[in-house]
Amino acid sequence: MPPSQPTHRFRVGDPVHVERAKPAGNPRTPHYIRGKSGVVSMLHGSIVNPIDHHGVYPPLCSVLFRVRDVFGGSSDDTLSIDLHEDWLKPVSRSR
């Protein structure tokens, strides 16, 4: 029987914040995006990768960030980055 697929904690449109440090998390999370906030734009489920990871990775999300929030400047462009949910925490919608 295949391993059960973890369900997503987030939904498309949810605002999220990327953890600054996650020692037990996937080290492939780019340093420039850590500590930044964005919006979940797509859900990919979980990925089984027996070659370099034992078990099932946490669910993967595409998160959309404003370029100016990541790198500064005044660009209206956006940047999409795929991140595992163990790096994400919810952000309150009220500001």
Q: What share of the chain is helix, strand, coil (3-state, %, to 5)?
A: 10, 35, 55
Annotation: CATH topology of 15-90: SH3 type barrels. (2.30.30)
By the 8 A CB rule, do 85 and 62 touch? no
Domain ranges of the chain: 15-90
The predicted structure's pLDDT at residue 79: 97
User: Over the chain, what is the mean pLDDT?
Assistant: 85
Give the residue, 1 or 54, on which the prediction is more confident.
54
- Has residue 43 got a pLDDT over 70? yes
